[in-house]
Amino acid sequence: MSDSLREPNVILRGGPAALSGKKRVRSVADSDSVLKLQNGNRYDHYESTSETVIDDGRLLKVFVWVQCTYVAE
């Protein structure tokens, strides 16, 4: 099943301002691993925390932004 068809299970905190609102609520297969999202010519890295929040009636695990890396040319 693709991530877009799964129920959201994480929320992203920190990172680029362009990632706002509902774009921060995601579905990930492994909520204990590092999440890497492509953002233009870089990747934003988010790490899992033990914190959870309720958003729109759903319990979501909080991931926090830790760094970005750039795509090699």
Domain residue spans of the chain: 3-70
Mean pLDDT of the chain: 90
> Which segments within the chain are labelled E, that is strand?
10-13, 25-26, 35-39, 42-55, 58-70
Percent of the chain having pLDDT more than 70? 92
CA distance 11 to 62: 5
* Total-model pTM: 0.85
- Please give the pLDDT value at position 5: 59
pLDDT < 50 positions in the chain: 1-2
